[in-house]
Amino acid sequence: MSKLKQKIIPILVSLLLLLTGGTVSFAEEFDVSAPVAILIDLETGQVLYEKNADQKWSPASTTKIITALTALEMAPLDMEMKASRHAINSIPADYGIAGIRPGEIRTFQDLLNFVLIISANEASNVIAENLVPSGNIDDFVDLMNKKAEELGLKNSHFTNTYGLDEENHYTTARDLAIASREAMKYPIFRQIVALTEVPLPDTNLRKKDGWDKWHIESTNKLLKSRSDYYDRVTGIKTGYTGKAGRCLVFSAVNNEGLELIGVILGAETNDILFAEAKKLLEYGYMNYKVQTLASSGEFYGRYEVADAVDNILVELQTLGTVKHLLPVSPERLQAEVTVKEVLNTPFAAPVEKGQVMGYKTWFYKGEEIGSVQLIAMNDIEKTIHAQIRDKIAELIENKTIRTIAIITGILILALIILRIILKGASRRRNYYRRHYRF
């Protein structure tokens, strides 16, 4: 029998792997080969996976996320911008350009398309020169660093607009994820980074068919990926230099509306980069789901109430909703999600329907993730006996009434004493009248 089990179990496991596409769940075992990575929930910033996420790294063209984010707050999309010779010629020969010509005029949105879709380095410089009064790119870079500080990017510093490898030009996977969350709030940014091909515009120097079309497709090949675990890839930006390696900031959304942002820095090849980006997204969608822990109207329990008429019990229900992105693994849920319940006991009548009787709070890995009120479902009246008792107690506790009672008591006592004195005096007079007549 034991030999039969040894033969059957491997067969069953193999069948299970085939049926599930080769991955049951790799929550604990999953890893990427790249040295730096992170995966977060776009809405909340909750971290689902990280590997050396705070290690400083040369960002290459992922720098352009900060460039675009800084610029979007400074100008309308239809603002016309003129390319200078310096903005173009300052790009090193081995860094990619779109072929913008000196003196060429394009709108801000056209330039953003070139920056974010095909990673045109000179387009970043053109934007920078046109958005600062001095026309000095370094002044725009100062604004990029101020924006990074505003966003709380603790381990980032920039010295150029497009990702040139320089000693003081660095960021981290975590900082790029934070910046991308902010950038994706802009509809135009979100729209552009989802495009697979750059729109070619007419300019003052050429028609749209006059552009060199060898490089019009997005550098983000993940945009065309397909998966059983997410509906579509929504962005965001690639990057590469010899120092940085292959880099990608990416995002996707599933059919439940859950959008994740990932960052991979330093992959060895593009094939590895895009494959691991897909795996990282699938890891997130396979192992995490927005779960409802509580909803309004859920029955909580029945409890005794002191001084209740007919000893009626109060029934409690929840008021509020708690939802959070949590592991799908029951074992992890049990280990990482805790609950704290607080009831305002002992309960005493009267109780009004809707009255808050306590709270229930959930924690994930020690951090509070939501709370609901526990409210009464029914009215409960206080007994007549209890009302009289409490009224007497209330009167006793009332300082004004207590003072009046004391004064009244003193007056009554004084009257009694006076009466006794007067009565005594009356008796003596009567005594003298009877015994001392003439």
- Diameter over CA atoms, the chain: 153
Q: Provide the H-helix boundaries in 268-355.
A: 270-287, 330-336
The CATH fold of domain 21-287: Beta-lactamase (3.40.710)
Residue type, 377: M
Distance CA 203, CA 315 (A): 72
Q: What is the dihedral of CA 176, 181, 182, 187, to 10 degrees?
A: 120
What does the block give as tokens for 108? 């801000």
Q: Residue 390's pLDDT is what?
A: 81
Q: Which residue has the tokens 């990074």?
A: 148
For residue 311, give Cα distances in angstroms to 46, 306, 389, 410: 48, 8, 17, 43
Contacts of residue 365, defined as CB under 8 A and 6 or more positions apart, other chains included, come to: 336
Q: Is the pTM of this model over 0.75?
A: yes
Q: Residue 401's pLDDT is what?
A: 65
Return the CA Rg of the chain: 38
Domains of the chain, residue spans: 21-287, 295-376
Q: How far is CA 309 from the centre of its chain?
A: 47
Q: How far is CA 160 from the centre of its chain?
A: 30
In this structure, the number of other CB atoms found within 10 A of the CB of residue 424 comes to 10
Q: Which CATH class is domain 295-376?
A: mainly beta
Residue type, 84: S
What does the block give as tokens for 175? 């900082």
Determine the Cα angle at 42 with ends 239 and 166, to 5°. 25
Q: Residue 217's pLDDT is what?
A: 94
Q: Residue 211's pLDDT is what?
A: 87
Q: Which residue has the tokens 């040894």?
A: 6
Q: List per-residue pLDDT tens for the chain, 438 residues long.
A: 343 334 333 333 333 333 333 343 444 578 999 999 999 999 999 999 999 999 999 999 999 999 999 999 999 999 999 999 999 999 999 898 999 999 999 999 999 999 999 999 999 999 999 999 999 999 999 999 999 999 999 999 999 999 999 999 999 999 999 999 999 999 999 999 999 999 999 999 999 998 887 679 999 999 999 999 999 999 999 999 999 999 999 999 999 999 999 999 999 999 999 999 999 999 999 999 999 999 999 999 999 999 999 999 999 999 999 999 999 999 999 999 999 999 999 999 999 999 999 999 999 999 999 999 999 999 999 999 988 888 887 778 777 766 776 788 788 888 888 888 887 777 777 766 666 554
Q: Residue 419's pLDDT is what?
A: 82
Q: Which residue has the tokens 């003196």?
A: 103
